[in-house]
Amino acid sequence: MSDAQHVQGYRIRGRYPYQSVLTWLVHKPEQQSAMADLSMMEKSWEELPNPKRVWIGEPGSREEGLGRLVLLTKERVLAAAKDEIQQGIRVNLGWDLNKLEFACFNRQPCKLEMVPLLDGVAFDDIYTLNPQQSSQWDGLRHFSQPLEEGPSERVFYGGCTKEEILDPACDRIGIQHWAQEGITGRGVLIDYVSYAERKSIEYSTFSLHTIKLSEILDIARECNIEFRRGDMLFVRIGVTKEWEQRMTREAKQTYAASTSPQHAGVEGTLDMLQWLWDTGFAAVAGDAISFEVYPPQAGGVFLHEYMLAGWGMPIGELFDLERLAQICQELGRWSFFVSSSPFNMLGGISSPPNAQAVF
């Protein structure tokens, strides 16, 4: 049978109208059974047929929509609650929705409108916001990866296309899947800010300063952090602290107006990716703007293409980790229970985390 016949047959069987040539090129018919295999998320890096494309579930399914969050099993969530909730201390992880009040890529600040009812007897409010401008989870519709057959054509997690995302009738891989079960389990904090202070490392978070994998492992050893499969990794690099305490209004406006902004973050390397995968993280988050150093450096890799479009892994950005780091230091423990409830929006691309850590 010719490739064209294969494509035609797959389009007829497809659940969504845009499962066309692009989707078929990524997953030919003989690969369909592997695509739906949830056990792929439990395999080691070396066992993966293609570490850049670990797609599970059928198109439009719960499993596809959860992506890497399938690692948050009932057993792992229950163990996290039992082990981590000890003092009853709760810590908000969401930054002020009014920040960044000056954001790059023409992202507009949040607006809150008061709507009086019955001549002021009661009030409603109307929020106008781009979740990317403050604390947010990047959902699976946020970032794509190139097809191996040509960099000009790109697909999102599961082979979802831009046509599907733009189709109002299609909610495939939308944020609603994460809302149904929450992003809930054990979190661990890597406090790079404190580490850098101890090591006399000076940097701006609005630069290409890079957190190396070796430094993350050093911090984990110093703090006796034990990673567990299904953990959520939080990395504090200091963006919110610098924005609020060191940057002038003029510096913020200059940053927002830049067409080539620089963001400090974790290194974009295959070593970093393999460690994140093999350690078994279900999600990552930080107070950085891009989590990884941006733009990607020469010879490196773009983590977003692997983690979002390839693994279905949530990436949290601009989380407020200041009080979290303070409580971790006071208690001498760097793990905690995390509960996050993203927006229940069909087809949503991103969401404020609505998250807290519980000790």
- For residue 100, whether the previous peptide bond is cis, meaning omega lies within 30 degrees of 0, is yes
Collapsing DSSP to helix, strand or coil, 276 comes out as: helix
Give the whole-angstrom CA distance, residue 188 versus residue 57. 28
β-strand partners of 186: 337
75-116 pLDDT tens trace: 999 999 999 999 999 999 999 999 999 988 888 889 999 999
pLDDT above 90 for 354? yes
Is the model more confident about 106 or about 19? 106
Encode pLDDT of 263-306 as tens digits: 999 999 999 999 999 999 999 999 999 999 999 988 899 999 99
CA distance 281 to 71: 8
Using alpha carbons, select from 313, 352, 340 the residue that is nearest to residue 133: 352
Share of residues in the chain with pLDDT > 90 (%):
82
Model confidence pLDDT, tens digit, residues 24-67: 444 444 444 445 678 899 999 999 999 999 999 999 999 999 99
Contact 49, 307 (CB under 8 A): no
Encode pLDDT of 180-222 as tens digits: 999 999 999 999 999 999 999 999 999 999 999 999 999 999 9
Q: Which amino acid is at 130?
A: N
- CATH of the structural domain 82-98+130-143+173-358, one choice from 3.40.50.720, 3.20.20.80, 2.130.10.10, 3.50.30.50: 3.50.30.50
Counting beta carbons within 10 angstroms of the beta carbon of residue 150, is it exposed (0 to 12), middle (13 to 18) or buried (19 or more)?
A: exposed
Q: Is the pLDDT confidence value at 19 over 60?
A: no
Token digits of residue 235: 């990395």
**pLDDT band, residue 4 (cuts 50/70/90):** very low
Q: Which residues, at least 6 apart from 147, have a Cβ–Cβ distance to it below 8 Å?
A: 22, 25, 26, 153, 154, 155
Could you say which DSSP state residue 263 is in?
B
C-alpha distances in Å from residue 241, one per residue of 119, 204, 210: 41, 11, 17
What average pLDDT score do residues 123-149 get? 92
Cβ count within 10 A of residue 201: 12
Distance CA 323, CA 346 (A): 32
For residue 125, the model assigns a pLDDT of 96
User: Which residues, 6+ apart, have CB-to-CB distance to 122 below 8 Å?
Assistant: 116
Per-residue burial over 8-43, b if 16 or more Cβ lie within 10 Å, else e, is: eebeeeeebebbbebbbbbbeeeeeeebeeeebbee
Residue 69: what pLDDT? 98
Q: What is the pLDDT of residue 28?
A: 46
Q: What is the mean pLDDT of the chain?
A: 90
